[in-house]
Chain A
Amino acid sequence: MQEEGLARLRRCLAEGVAHATEGVDVRAELHIDPNAADGDVARTLVQILDAVEVASLDLAPSRERDTREADELAPVAAADSSFLGRLGGEGDDRIGVDEVRDVGTLVAVLRAGRLEQRRAALLRLADEMGKAGRLAPSAVKEAAAALEATRDVELAYERTLVHAHMPGAPGRAARAEAEQWRRQVDRLLPRVRAFWDAELREEPVSHLPGEERARLLLRGPDLPDEFMAHLGAVIEGAAGTVDMDARLAVLSSMRHSADSRLVAALITTLDAGSAELAVEAVRTLSRVSDPRVRPALLTAYERSVVDPHRAVLAGALAALGDHRGLDYVKSLLDSDDAATQLAALEAMENLGAGEDCERVTVFLADDNPTIVAQTVRTLARMGDQRALPLLAELGRKAAVSALRADVEDAISAIHARLELRGEGEQVGLEVSLPEPDPIVPLLHIPALKRYRAYALYAMGRVWLGLGAFRRGVSRLERAATIRGDWTAPLLAIAMACTRRKRYAQALTVFRRAIDVGRRSVERNPVMIRALSHTFLERAEELEGEGRREIARGLVAEALSLDLRRAPSSLRFELERRRRTLRGGSA
């Protein structure tokens, strides 16, 4: 009787006392005056219902789980029954990356897989390297070459782990770098503590030079808990004096290296941060493997109304296996707005499939170089061979080294994907990319002059080694004048300027060296590292002086070079700085 009465009262509240709820007289049910005011009826009704509900609350062994259905929508999976589609996926027919033993297959996954697959393949390759005795020497060599050649910024952290376990020079260099990183953390942690103790006014991480910060945060997962909590506070704006630019700098530096300890702060930023911070949080979150990420991105996607932001969210969801945004993003490709197109193309990296190839390849002819570069990256991830001839054509015409490098990587990724699908290159679609700007033939310079130039070069190096900067530079300049086809003296001057932090001067000399022999600069890891560093430092100097446009031009100039041999942290920081200087969401 009582339960029935309560059910009727509950129905009254659900349907409203103003509605004739199946002839229920709520005043009679409540046993109150038939003329009682609605306010009194309402008060009594909710009072009784709540009191009964509260009284019935309890815990019992039989109630061991939440019986409610979550509101969350199931992921919209892309139908991909190929090897790559099943690799590391869900379901009965999944293939674990740890099951793959063939080194060639792992190398192909490393080039063509999704981020998660590439990460797993890299670690698996390292595993295989550890079993050198059980692998054929050719396979070990192939694995070592693949690991050495992996320059994917997204895999920078995993690469540091793998390299540290490698034998020989790369291993030693990686271990030394790790040691240097540990010392940097040990130096910074007391400064972080001092910041919270109000002994330090400036937040220490955001005030680091860009490259140093990138190198520090590249190994995010190795940072101590206290440090990570501090970064979370900076990102979500709980660190007091830290301004928006500094928050963005720290957040964007963690794009590829956040881990589950930072997820809560990132979701908070996504929910309540500014648009710029929220978009960066989305990109960072999409690279973290954590079950909290997808529900947060999904909620944001459902409520987002700004096209570029929503496209980034759709791409991030796709990176986690939810392709619900495909049709929406495809519709954005027709937009007239460059920022929207760029965001849609970025999202298509994760969303696009073979059938979307033609929708994307049209952007290879776009006037905007940023869109062309993004299109190349998107086609690399989509992995459809119909893009090969168009990419090859673009590569042949490319005047910018960076674009050509992107095209080379894209072609390599598509070939790797074809290999993983068991396909061969379609007849008529074979591509070949000729060697870029062949080495400039040496000038006809008499042997005596050559000898003199070499002698001046050697003397110049000696003077520089002794600290006589002016004398050294003077000799090297003369050597460069005598041999106009020789980059070595110019590079020696540039390196000397860089070491002395005379970045403006170094920049000029590096430019002269590039004019003389672009390839010899781009293919020399030491030189390309120094060059990138110089461009970055000079850009930071100019930005500090408020000359953002010039700084932006410098960063763009550096990024137009083939930086594949430069350290990941430098490439990452240059890219990050280009985005922040552009002030856009891309």
Chain B
Amino acid sequence: MSLREIKQAAQRALEDGAPRDAVAGEVVSAVLAVRIDDRQELVTVSLAGGELRLSSTDEVLDSPFVQVARAALAGAELGDVSATPSSSSAGQLSVAPVPADSMPPRAQALTDLLTAIVRLGVHHAAGAPAVVEALERLEKEAGVKPAVGVSRFVGRLKRALSRQDVTTTARLLDGAARLARDLTNSSPGEAQQRVATFFGGQSAYSSDPLVDRRFFEIGRERVAGLERASIERRYLLDLGDGQIYGESLRVGGSGSMGPCPRILSAGLSEVSRGITPPAIRLLQYVVSGSLGTDTLSVLGGYAVRRFSALAEMYRVALKQAPGLAEPVILIAPQRFGGSDGATPIDSDGLPLPLAAADAPGIVQAVTPHARRGAISLLSGRLLDHEGTLMLLPLAALIDRDGTRSWWRLR
């Protein structure tokens, strides 16, 4: 099928009497199902500032599926591959199913959970016996002490279901489907690390450890896992290259010690890059609570100053691991503005709203300092709602009576 054929079919439909201007609106994105040999992936197409943006569910930048989609959109003919342009409501989509009996038990548990929720619907799934049973099975597959990854996934899913949040549930379930596929295909590399990060295991961490690094803890939070506030996360920024890592531990579990903020001089640490932020495990480290003005200046050098790059970074992170990614950033707003005077705004005038609904107290606490321009750096976790990217603040560098101090907010 070519785009020309689709266009012709649409024109015929209009000529046959289909309403032309029934509803005012515009197409903002389209999803194409692209098949190469027996494998099929979805390619999302959108325009940003006149530039074509393509991304594929195979998580590979400019993958063959993206190339086929781009070629199809441009009207080029390709030899031995058939481009199947489609949207959610047009075109042909066929999914190559994975035979249930060939699935590993963990993949089966994830698939069963996905199926149970989609069958019942997000609005009816919370507390439904089938979903509870599927969750229990997943927890059982996760072992006696479930890894932080699966624990966090279940925590987020339960919260999304209780709030009847269709978007977040779809994302988490997409992540579950992706993990099930990773488990079934035994994919190497990041996919393997992703699975290990989710279910736990030594293979979660790459064989290439970090040696002699200095980290600055830019934020700390307790998040829901299998139980409320059962996971503690510390976000560490590498003072050498600006990369942000996440150290996650179960409450009562082992992890690094120290206050927030702190500087960690880590002799040896392991990293898992399957998710964003990459998971870190500190094996040898020394803690210091003395920050020093030099460190704060170095920190400023790594802060994001133009927010336009954040959306793409966030999309890439979600595509990499939809059910696990919770990107954390450090920003240096040029100013604060908006109706409440507390929205970070970059040099291009682009705002990055604060997630007030998720942390009303934190945003209120930040607001007076933001209004008087006393905040120079702000760290936080990115999240989204109805297409808008937002920041859940974790900490801020503020000016208090002429002294700069790192203020932990969460």
Contacts and interface: CB of A to CB of B under 8 A. Distances in A.
Q: Which of A42, A197, A272, A291: most chain B Cβ within 10 A?
A: A42
A149 interface: no
Given A2-B27, A61-B349, A294 B310 contact: no
Interface in A4-42: 4-6, 8-10, 12-19, 29-33, 36-42
Interface string B36-61: 00000010111010000101010000
A240 interface: yes
B89 A29 contact: yes
Contact of A57 (B117, B311, B365): B311
B97 A36 contact: yes
A296 B361 contact: yes
A34 to B, nearest CB: 11
Given A5-B89, A264-B408, A32 B291 contact: no
B387 A44 contact: no
A83 to B, nearest CB: 27
B351 A232 contact: no
Interface string B341-380: 0010000011111111110111011000000000000000
Contacts of A444: none
A43 B169 CA distance: 12
A545 interface: no
B289 A192 contact: yes
A64 B117 CA distance: 33
B171 interface: yes
Q: Which of B91, B120, B170, B409: most chain A Cβ within 10 A?
A: B170
A52 B257 CA distance: 41
Contacts of B118: 13, 16-17, 38, 41-42, 45-46
Interface string B46-84: 101000010101000000000000000000000000000
A430 interface: no
Interface string A261-279: 1011100100110000000
Contacts of A30: 88, 93
B94 A32 contact: yes
Interface in B157-172: 164, 166-167, 169-171
A2 B42 CA distance: 16
B410 interface: yes
Interface residues of A, number: 88
Nearest to A228: B259
A52 B27 CA distance: 11
A63 B338 CA distance: 9
A435 interface: no
A426 interface: no
Contacts of A38: 115, 118-119
B350 A61 contact: yes
A54 interface: yes
A233 interface: yes
A455 B180 CA distance: 95
B299 to A, nearest CB: 15
Interface stretch (B193-201, B208-216, B313-321): B313-321
Interface stretch (B121-129, B138-146, B147-155, B273-281): B121-129
Interface stretch (A66-74, A109-117, A154-162, A479-487): A66-74
A31 B93 contact: yes
B402 to A, nearest CB: 14
A10 to B, nearest CB: 6
A55 B167 CA distance: 13
A271 B366 CA distance: 22
A31 to B, nearest CB: 5
Contacts of B262: 196, 229
A63 B351 contact: yes
A43 B351 contact: no
A58 B315 CA distance: 9
B269 interface: no
A72 B363 CA distance: 13
A295 B356 CA distance: 12
Contact of A68 (B111, B288, B385): B385
A50 B322 contact: yes
A6 B88 CA distance: 7
B205 to A, nearest CB: 23
Contacts of B48: 58
A15 to B, nearest CB: 4
Nearest to A2: B87
Interface in B212-244: 220, 222, 228-230, 232
A68 B357 contact: yes
A14 to B, nearest CB: 5
A240 B121 contact: no
A19 B121 CA distance: 8
Contacts of A47: 42, 57, 174, 177
A193 interface: yes
A264 B111 contact: no
A18 B119 contact: yes
B115 A4 contact: no
Nearest to A197: B286
Contacts of B354: 65-66
Interface string B284-303: 00111111000000000000
B88 A42 contact: no
Given A59-B307, A68-B385, A50 B55 contact: no
Contacts of A292: 361-362, 364-365, 409
A26 B338 CA distance: 41
A293 interface: yes
A220 B135 CA distance: 46
Contacts of B95: 32, 36, 40, 43-44
Interface in B247-272: 251, 257-262
Contact of A193 (B115, B121, B290, B390): B290
Q: Which of A3, A58, A226, A303: most chain B Cβ within 10 A?
A: A58
A148 interface: no
Contacts of A439: none
A354 to B, nearest CB: 32
Contacts of A197: 286-288
B405 A225 contact: yes
Which 9 pairs from chain A and chain B are nearest by CB?
A16-B121, A5-B89, A291-B364, A292-B361, A42-B118, A233-B259, A68-B357, A229-B259, A50-B174
Given A16-B125, A233-B258, 4 more contacts: A64-B339, A70-B357, A196-B258, A294-B361
29 contacts: A1-B87, A2-B87, A4-B89, A6-B89, A9-B88, A13-B118, A16-B118, A43-B111, A43-B177, A46-B118, A47-B177, A53-B170, A55-B46, A59-B308, A61-B351, A66-B357, A66-B385, A66-B390, A68-B385, A225-B291, A229-B259, A229-B261, A238-B260, A264-B260, A268-B229, A268-B232, A272-B222, A292-B409, A294-B361
